[in-house]
Structure 1
């Protein structure tokens, strides 16, 4: 009931008017039964925009921190997350992947739509990065079809670090379902998991027309952070170094 109110009365109409989302391929989402929506991930708002264009509820995973905030703000955030179908999961520690997998399997077994980002985190620069094999394991263990999804221009509406997105039109492109039943019983074969994951990511790539990078997005983020840190250290060192007069040449 709360989801219906959020979707059709409260947040839904407001967000639709704000973003004016356009769609392509919505007919590929089945009217019933469990299915995996595997999407690229450009901005935080991806998890809010995708459900806007579908009649069925989509459930995503969310950090448990979203549900434990204190005060009025904390309660509002928790209420909003529950209202849009976000499931709290503790993603810290070594059992994070197992918890995410089990949560997704429960949603699919109950005949729901489960949204997942194969890249594992937001793209740092708008490009599509190598997928993690959790989406493949989820598909093979559940037997559910995988529906590739491309979010378009959400990174332009909400750049990294931007809290309030800009009201520009954004798109959702949905591809035909992928069937991996031919790999039934092979969910522990790492080569099969990699092949399935790559097939899913390639399907997303065809829809999104992004540039592909064959490394993990988390690795790219770490490199960018390291380069920024090195640049800052270099700038600090330069400021701390003794300055020569402009008319003095090295070696003079």
Structure 2
């Protein structure tokens, strides 16, 4: 099914958008490897597999695979067809642990595992702090090399709120594999996990040219959402106050003629 979906989706993607690629020689012809990428767009998980000769498996939230109805079944078939695995996000650590288990299973089969260290899409095109619980633990537990990947301009193809994608050329830069065998057996040391993650994020930053922000993308999204809500509330309060002033002027008794 993967091969059929890759032809059905990858072919048209390459023809329509003509993505450029640098560093394809850094993808091993065989054997396990982790592709650690920045995350700018929903389409990242489709453009990267489209340009690779080998299958790469990403994880996706379980809701994409369990939505009822015809649309839900089509969505589930689509995600399975492009090599994505469902991850149950229930529980405080559910997503992280599920990602680790899924990643190790893929790597044990000698395949490519794709992961986004930021944990979610960037809200503004900048590169955010990587989460150490997934990428680093999978890398140290498996011993697989980590290949940094930078997606370029994919967020411009279909910005939030836009239905129709913009036809333009996104880019993909693939860096040289990183070896973390010196930390083998230390996957439960939080300082080691942080060091591994930061080294990978630094390489992604060099490849992508993005501005780096030393907070988690989830925290940035929360701040942006709170700021938007505060602005909306302020505008509503200002409008209400203006309406009150207008009404007060209307309610003033007319002065009697002299």
TM-score bucket (shorter structure): over 0.9
Aligned length: 244
CA RMSD of aligned residues (A): 1.5
SS in 2 for 1:15: helix
SS in 2 for 1:243: helix
> Quick check: 197-206 or 11-20, which moved more?
11-20
Residue 109 of structure 2 is aligned to residue 107 of structure 1: no
Is the Cα–Cα contact under 8 Å of residues 124 and 160 in structure 1 kept in the other structure? no
Q: Which runs of 4+ in 1 moved over 4 A?
A: none
Distance 2:233 2:218 in 1: 23
Q: After superposition, where does 1:13-32 map in structure 2 within 5 Å?
A: 13-32=11-30
Q: How far is the alpha carbon of 1:166 from its aligned partner? A: 1.6
Gaps of 5+ in 2: 248-258
Gaps of 5+ in 1: 246-252
Is the Cα–Cα contact under 8 Å of residues 140 and 187 in structure 1 kept in the other structure? yes
Is the Cα–Cα contact under 8 Å of residues 57 and 84 in structure 2 kept in the other structure? yes
Structure 2 counterpart of 1:162: 162
1:188-241, CA deviations, whole angstroms, 9 ceiling, x for partnerless residues? 111111011000000000000000000000000000000000000000101111
TM-score (norm 2): 0.91
Distance 1:141 1:231 in 2: 46
Structure 2 counterpart of 1:249: none
TM-score (norm 1): 0.93
Structure 1 counterpart of 2:255: none
Q: After superposition, where does 1:22-61 map in structure 2 within 5 Å?
A: 22-61=20-59
Is the Cα–Cα contact under 8 Å of residues 118 and 131 in structure 1 kept in the other structure? yes
Distance 1:161 1:62 in 2: 21
SS in 1 for 2:202: helix
Distance 1:139 1:186 in 2: 11
